[in-house]
Amino acid sequence: MNEREQMLTSVLNCRRVDLYVDRKELNPVQQKQYRQMLDRRAQGEPLQYIIGHCEFLNTKLFVNKHVLIPRPETELLVEMAVEKARMMPNRPVRILDLGTGSGNIAIALAKRVHDCHVVSVDISREAIMVATENARKNFVADKTTFVWCDMFRFLSIDEELGRKFDMIISNPPYIKAGDIDNLPNDVQREPHIALNGGQDGLMFYREILKRAHHFLREEGCILFEIGEDQAQDITQIFEQYPYFRNTFVFRDYADRDRFMCSQLSALSAVVN
Ligand code: GLN
């Protein structure tokens, strides 16, 4: 659907085909709504915030200005995670999702992995509210737990966990702080807290990897979305921790380095 069609189907609460077959007329209230939508769009607001939702892996998700709009490439990260999770021996598969935003990754995983539970953390209370609502609307509330907490604080918990996670997954903020002002206008309308990866864009990878082994079971895996020019630097961060192995980079639809995956070695207990 083009943008106009997306706005009209949203105002009329109908399918695309109804715009043409049934040729519904806009009543005055709907006309006003539609005009307001066009104005907001003309001022650079992302379409998804205006219509209030987006699609991610065939799932409709509610979004607002407090959450990053899920990107199509992140679907590939979820597909890789689903493949890994399905091969895991433990049930339920326990997944930790760091920086959940709209809950897109958690909800898509909960829908696709038969017996799993996803714990999702986000520093933004508004994001946790959006994600919780999205899980409820997609009937996966019982397979997800949303925790309002700074991920660094969450990762600093040093009590022994009952059972560690089988997988950690994250699409953290990874834009360099100094590059935020150069992003396209509509991206700048997204929460900077969801984009800003610190001075070199790598802060979240560094902090997550410092602590990840306390949260992962042996042989558990960690999956990241990364910036297209960050694979080398993040590989070096992984290399600081010898208990990570089988680390590899994979690419997005545009054939750019976009994701990394690694596994916690069974020997991690020795290194601990
Ligand atoms: N992929 C997003 C962008 O390019 C950034 C998301 C993030 O920082 N995790 O705008």
Helices 203-215/231-239 angle, 10° precision:
40
β-pairing verdict for 216-225 and 257-264: antiparallel
State residue 176's pLDDT score. 97
Q: How far is the CA of 259 from the centre of ligand 1 (A)?
A: 12
Residue entry with tokens 């714990």 = 119
Question: 3-class SS at 134?
Answer: helix
State residue 164's pLDDT score. 93
Q: How far is the CA of 106 from the centre of ligand 1 (A)?
A: 17
Strand stretches in 28-133, DSSP E = 53-56, 59-62, 93-98, 116-122
State how far the Cα of 19 lies from the Cα of 198, in Å rounded to an integer. 45
State how far the Cα of 87 lies from the Cα of 240, in Å rounded to an integer. 27
Q: How far is the CA of 175 from the centre of ligand 1 (A)?
A: 7
Instruction: Judge: domain 66-271, CATH 3.40.50.150.
Output: yes
Residues near ligand 1 (Cβ within 6 A) = 68, 71, 171-175, 187, 195, 225
Rg, C-alpha atoms of the chain: 20
State residue 266's pLDDT score. 85
State how far the Cα of 158 lies from the Cα of 222, in Å rounded to an integer. 19
Q: Where are the domains of the chain?
A: 3-43, 66-271
Mutate to test the pocket of ligand 1, among 175, 182, 193 (most ligand atoms within 8 A of CB): 175
Q: Give the number of other CB atoms < 10 A from CB of residue 22.
A: 11
State residue 96's pLDDT score. 98
- The tokens of 140 are what? 């996966």
State residue 130's pLDDT score. 98
For the chain, which residues score pLDDT lower than 50? 269-270, 272
Residue entry with tokens 């397979």 = 143
Residue entry with tokens 């049934």 = 22
